């Protein structure tokens, strides 16, 4: 009779994904580009914002987009129209991007350009406030969008997403005059789950806040890729 | 139902662990998980999706034992720990501070695995080795 063995692991449940995410990040660091993972519930305005931001930042940053649209290539087509290379990632029925899917997207991207020529790689995640927060894809920073039409309780209902974000964008602020919503309450609820992240009010329609948002993006790009950036890639996993 | 994807990833993570024992395949009895309440995972759903996912695989019959880890915050002013309450915007009751530091509740961890190694193949061998009792080091 064998006694059962017990291995103490202390391994992340998502270790397999974490390892692939670390691998992706090593590539990003070798290419000296900033990778931003853009997440929100469906329709919060990720693609609309990207259209504006790509157009504004293209003057001095080389960019590409990995587009995790769930069923159609519509979003990818909208962004290509701006003149930035877009690789649609087929997610099947998955409700989030994982690191392996992004790795697949990188292979397609490499067929079109040399990633080392890029300064910034955007990943538009699948519209979902839940699991994208737990599946790293190798990004340097997480950006979460919350539109003013979604109500002020979302940060408390989906706290993990807003806790993990480095920057939360409150979108569609041009609609505020027509809505019975208090933006100060939205901000307070974001702060409640994440006192440290940047919180920026933006509107892709009116252009409000875009300068501040693009300032944040440039700061991150400089911090990750600039002359004073850390030379070696930090490891992603601590657990 | 993102637990399905979580389970797929858990199975892949278990596969990474299994490779340590190559070429033999451990017979896993129980996988002990720690799942924090401040995560996207619903333990009951994870157990259900796990049973379906491992059926017919090398993990068939392995049970998930999930320990739920409550959310604990640390107050930045007095350094005391507290149970953050969403109704109170997660603020510390002692000093009314925002939830800066999370002590626990974010765990998504495979804590340990109970398993047996299969009996050695040759019953006539004189020096049938005992299954090693070594415990893998914590990561
Ligand atoms: N008024 C207003 N409408 C906006 C704004 N940004 C986006 N929208 C509208 O919101 C809808 C969804 O915008 P998208 O940019 O497609 O949102 P998304 O997050 O990319 O959506 P998915 O990728 O499907 O999750 C569209 O009808 C947009 O026109 C904004 O700043 N103001
Ligand atoms: Mg979109
Ligand atoms: Zn690689
Ligand atoms: Zn998902
Ligand atoms: Zn206190």
Of the residues A45, A46, A206, which should be mutated to test ligand 1's pocket, given the most ligand atoms within 8 Å of the CB?
A: A45
Per-residue CA distances from B77 to A62, A192, B25, B81 (Å): 44, 16, 51, 11
Is the residue at A8 inside a domain?
Answer: no
pTM of the model: 0.88
pLDDT tens for A168-211 read 999 999 999 999 999 999 999 999 999 999 999 999 999 999 99
ipTM of the complex: 0.81
Identify the band that residue A73 occupies on the pLDDT scale cut at 50, 70 and 90.
low
Residue A117 CB-density burial (10 A; 0-12 exposed, 13-18 middle, 19+ buried): exposed
| Most informative mutation of A37, A43, A147 for ligand 1 (most atoms within 8 A of CB) | A43
* Res A238: pLDDT: 38
- Per residue in B76-134, pLDDT tens? 999 999 999 998 999 999 999 999 999 999 999 999 999 998 876 655 544 444 444 33
- Residue A103 belongs to a domain: yes
> Residue A196's closest CA among B98, B2, B24, B5?
B98
Residue A33 lies in a domain: yes
Instruction: Tell me whether the omega of the peptide bond preceding residue A7 falls within 30 degrees of 0, making it cis.
Output: no
Tally the domains of chain A: 1
Q: Do A134 and B116 touch (CB under 8 A)?
A: no
A9, B110: Cβ pair inside 8 Å? Answer: yes
pLDDT for the residue B122? 57
Question: Quick check: is A4 in a domain?
Answer: no
Ligand number nearest CA of B82 is: 5
Give the residue from A10, A135, A237, A159 showing the smallest Cα distance to B73: A159
Closest CA relative to residue A10, chosen from B115, B32, B79:
B32
Share of chain A above pLDDT 90, in %: 77
Whole-angstrom distance, CA of residue A86 vs CA of residue A95: 20
**Is the pLDDT score of A153 beyond 80?**
yes
Give the structural domain span for A77.
20-224
CA distances from B130 to A197, B20, B23, B116 (A): 54, 18, 16, 11
Cβ-Cβ contacts under 8 Å for A155 (sequence gap 6 or more): A146, A162, A168, A186, A189, A190, A192, A193, A194
Q: Which residue's alpha carbon is nearest to atom 3 within ligand 1?
A: A172
Give the residue, by CA position, lying nearest to ligand 1 atom 5.
A172
* Residue in chain A lying closest to B30 (CA): A6
A206, A171 Cβ separation under 8 angstroms = no
Rg (CA), chain B: 20
Q: Is residue A229 part of a domain?
A: no
**Which chain B residues touch A5 with a CB distance below 8 Å?**
26, 114-117, 131-133, 135
Q: Which CATH architecture has domain B1-12+26-69+105-117+132-139?
A: 2-Layer Sandwich (3.30)
Tell me if chain B has a CB within 8 Å of the CB of A180. Answer: no
The answer to whether residue A135 is domain-embedded is: yes
Q: Which residues, 6 or more positions from A148, have their beta carbon under 8 angstroms from its beta carbon?
A: A170, A171, A172, A173, A175, A176, A179, A181, A183, A186
Cβ contacts of residue A161 below 8 Å, gap of 6+?
A: A39, A129, A130, A132, A133, A144
Per domain, the residue ranges of chain B are 1-12+26-69+105-117+132-139, 71-103
What contacts A141, CB < 8 A, 6 or more positions away? Answer: A34, A35, A36, A37, A166, A167, A220
β-strands B72-74, B101-104 pairing: antiparallel
Q: Does A1 touch chain B (CB under 8 A)?
A: no
Work out the average pLDDT over A40-57: 95
* CATH code, A161: 3.40.50.300
């Amino acid at each position: 009779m064998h006694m059962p063995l017990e291995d103490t692991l202390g391994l992340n449940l998502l270790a397999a994904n974490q390892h692939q995410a670390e691998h992706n990040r090593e590539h990003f660091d070798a290419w000296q580009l900033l990778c931003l993972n853009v997440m929100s519930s469906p329709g919060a305005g990720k693609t609309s914002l990207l259209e504006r931001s790509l157009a504004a930042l293209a003057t001095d940053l080389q960019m590409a987009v990995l587009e995790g649209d769930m069923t159609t290539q519509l979003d990818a087509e909208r962004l290509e129209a701006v003149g930035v290379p877009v690789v649609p990632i087929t997610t099947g029925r998955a409700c989030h991007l994982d690191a392996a899917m992004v790795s697949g997207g990188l292979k397609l991207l490499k067929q079109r350009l040399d990633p080392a020529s890029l300064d910034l790689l955007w990943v538009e995640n699948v519209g979902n406030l839940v699991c994208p927060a737990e599946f790293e894809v190798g990004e340097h920073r997480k950006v979460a969008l919350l539109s003013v039409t979604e109500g002020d309780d979302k940060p408390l209902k989906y706290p993990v997403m807003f806790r993990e974000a480095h920057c939360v964008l409150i979108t569609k602020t041009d609609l505020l005059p027509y809505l019975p919503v208090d933006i100060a309450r939205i901000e307070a609820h974001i702060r409640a789950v994440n006192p440290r992240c940047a919180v920026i009010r933006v509107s892709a329609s009116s252009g409000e806040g875009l300068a501040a948002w693009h300032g944040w993006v440039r700061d991150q790009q400089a911090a990750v890729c600039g002359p004073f950036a850390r030379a070696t890639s930090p490891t992603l996993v601590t657990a | 139902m993102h637990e399905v994807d979580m389970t797929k990833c858990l199975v892949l993570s278990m596969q990474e662990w299994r490779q340590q024992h190559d070429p033999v395949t451990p017979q896993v009895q129980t996988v002990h998980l720690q799942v924090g309440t401040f995560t996207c995972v619903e333990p009951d759903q994870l157990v259900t999706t796990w049973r379906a996912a491992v059926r017919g695989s090398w993990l068939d019959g392995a049970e998930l034992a999930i320990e739920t880890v409550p959310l604990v915050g640390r107050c930045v002013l007095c350094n005391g720990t507290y149970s953050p309450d969403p109704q109170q915007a997660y603020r510390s009751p002692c000093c009314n501070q925002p939830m800066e530091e999370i002590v626990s509740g974010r765990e998504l961890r495979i804590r340990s695995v109970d398993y047996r190694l299969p009996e050695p193949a040759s019953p006539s061998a004189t020096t049938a080795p005992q299954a090693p009792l070594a415990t893998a080091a914590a990561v």
